[in-house]
């Protein structure tokens, strides 16, 4: 179901195993997580991405405006998707 949750992340540097745990707890389980890292695409630690893949969740990291567009597109395709967005 559609839901909006407060994600306690102020910048891409705050993205951690703990902050990503929110997305692993969602029911029904999501298949794709779109992360918007602000004005530009920022690299996340590979171990965090690997952990999400091991949970069956693909992660797409983009700048926030493109992440919003990707989220909307995937939602229109009825995909099980969530977005973690940091304002630009």
DSSP 13-76: GG--HHHHHHHHH-SSPPSEEEEEESSS-----HHHHHHHHHTT-EEEEE-HHHHHHHHHHHHH
Residue 55 has pLDDT above 70, yes or no: yes
49 vs 3, which has greater pLDDT? 49
Q: What element of type H or E holds 5?
A: none
* Domains by residue range for the chain, with CATH: 12-85 (3.40.1230.10)
Q: Would the pLDDT of 1 be above 80?
A: no
Render pLDDT for 23-53 as a digit per residue (tens, 0 to 9).
999 999 999 999 999 999 999 999 999 999 9
């Amino acid at each position: 179901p559609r839901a909006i949750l407060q994600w306690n992340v102020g910048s891409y540097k705050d993205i951690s195993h703990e902050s990503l745990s929110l997305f692993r707890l969602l029911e029904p389980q999501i298949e794709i997580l779109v992360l918007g890292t602000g004005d530009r695409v920022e690299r996340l630690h590979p171990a965090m991405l690997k952990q999400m893949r091991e949970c069956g969740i693909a992660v797409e990291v983009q700048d926030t405006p493109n992440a919003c567009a990707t989220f909307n597109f995937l939602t229109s395709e009825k995909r099980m998707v969530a977005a973690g967005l940091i304002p630009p």
